[in-house]
C-alpha cells in the first residue's frame, strides 16, 4: 500500500493561518538549541490519499495537468511511514 501526497503552499494570500502556531515556535527554539538555523522555510499543507494500487501513467498525466493549472504545488507517491521506518532500520542493521 502507498499514498498519494498532494502539497499546497501555505503562504501569503494562500495561507490558512497568518499567525505562527505554538508548535512552530517550539520547534524553532528546539532547532536553534541544536545549532540549526531558526529561519523558517515555507509552510505547506499536505493531503494524503491511500492508494489501492500504484498510480497509472494516465493518472500521473492527469495530476500533472492539475498541477500545471495551479490546483496544487506538487504531488508524489509515498510508502506508509511504518514501511519507511522498517526499511531504514533494515538498512542500518546491514551497515553495522
What are the boundaries of each domain within the chain?
A: 2-95
pTM for this prediction? 0.60
Q: Are the C-beta atoms of 80 and 2 separated by less than 8 Å?
A: yes
Range in 15-19, 27-31, 71-75 the model is least confident about = 15-19
pLDDT at residue 9, as a whole number:
76
Which of 9-18, 19-28, 45-54, 86-95 tops mean pLDDT? 45-54
Nearest to 5 by CA among 74, 82, 87: 74
Q: What is the mean pLDDT of residues 21-39?
A: 75
Amino acid at each position: 500500500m502507498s499514498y498519494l501526497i498532494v502539497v499546497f503552499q501555505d503562504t501569503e494570500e494562500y495561507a490558512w493561518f497568518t499567525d505562527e502556531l505554538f508548535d512552530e515556535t517550539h520547534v524553532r527554539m528546539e532547532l536553534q538549541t541544536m545549532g540549526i538555523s531558526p529561519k523558517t522555510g515555507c509552510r505547506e499543507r499536505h493531503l494524503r490519499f491511500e492508494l489501492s494500487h500504484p498510480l497509472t501513467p494516465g493518472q500521473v498525466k492527469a495530476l500533472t495537468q492539475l498541477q500545471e493549472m495551479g490546483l496544487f504545488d506538487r504531488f508524489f507517491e509515498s510508502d506508509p511511514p511504518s514501511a519507511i521506518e522498517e526499511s531504514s532500520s533494515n538498512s542500518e542493521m546491514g551497515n553495522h
